[in-house]
């Protein structure tokens, strides 16, 4: 039952990241939207994964998620050209890699508002996948980082209460095995937190 919940969470995160932005098919990107920035105080958010009723202390990430990764860093990590980068929501930045690639890169930041589809909840869900071998720990990246090949995404806890998720949206024309690219981009993003 829990793998289905994790699958639903990851699919919803991926769909949410693309529903407001470019689908990776070369169309126009969404305009950046203004975000109401929460106060920088620590907030405790319930998570859907991990231990029943578990809560994690989340420090809201302020500013645009697009500020955490440059298009040049995404291009260097993926070996693909970034056509555009734009916020698809106040919490998500999508990097369009063009028609030929058929995929986008997204970064999602946790604002500390709780919910099922925020990076801290996704991180907790990936923790559950460790037991089944569907996720793996990535050593030396933040406080703890978890990669899942099935969802082509990495969830990172920087060790200070900031959570991010970076992943691949779209088909399998490019980045079919994106672990190294995602790890490199996560390192770049963590350097700005």
Structure tokens at 155: 């969830």
pLDDT-derived band at 128, boundaries 50, 70, 90:
very high
Q: What is the pLDDT of residue 55?
A: 63
Both tokens assigned to 20: 């407001």
Cβ(109)–Cβ(91) below 8 Å: yes
User: What is the pLDDT confidence band of residue 95, given thresholds at 50, 70 and 90?
Assistant: very high
- The b/e string for 5-39 (b: 16+ C-beta within 10 A; e otherwise) is ebeebbeebbebbbeebbebebeebbeeeebeeee
Structural domain spans, the chain: 2-190
Answer for the pair 186, 154: CB distance below 8 angstroms, yes or no: yes
- Neighbouring CB atoms inside 10 A of 44's CB total 11
For position 47, what pLDDT does the model report?
41
Identify the pLDDT of residue 17: 43
Tens of pLDDT along 37-92? Answer: 333 444 444 443 344 445 668 999 999 999 999 999 999 999 999 999 999 999 99
Q: Where are the beta strands (DSSP E) in the chain?
A: 43-46, 55-58, 84-89, 92-96, 103-109, 136-137, 144-148, 153-157, 163-170
| CA dist., res. 193 & res. 183, Å (int) | 16
76 φ/ψ angles, rounded to the nearest 5 degrees: -65, -40
């Amino acid at each position: 039952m829990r793998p289905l919940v994790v699958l639903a969470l990851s699919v919803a995160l991926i769909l949410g990241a693309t529903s407001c932005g470019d689908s990776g098919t070369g169309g126009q990107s969404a305009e950046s939207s203004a975000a109401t920035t929460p106060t920088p105080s620590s907030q405790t958010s319930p998570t859907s994964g991990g231990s029943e009723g578990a809560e994690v202390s989340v420090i809201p990430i302020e500013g645009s998620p697009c500020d955490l990764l440059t298009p040049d860093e995404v291009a260097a990590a993926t070996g693909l050209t970034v056509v555009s980068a734009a916020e698809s929501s106040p919490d998500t930045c999508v990097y369009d890699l063009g028609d030929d690639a058929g995929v986008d890169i997204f970064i999602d930041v946790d604002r500390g508002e709780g919910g099922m589809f925020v990076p801290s909840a996704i991180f907790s869900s990936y923790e559950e996948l460790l037991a089944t071998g569907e996720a793996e720990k990535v050593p030396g990246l933040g406080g703890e980082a978890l990669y899942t090949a099935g969802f082509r995404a990495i969830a990172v806890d920087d060790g200070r209460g900031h959570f991010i998720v970076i992943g691949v949206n779209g088909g399998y024309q490019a980045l079919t095995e994106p672990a190294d690219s995602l790890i490199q981009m996560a390192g770049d993003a963590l350097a700005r937190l």
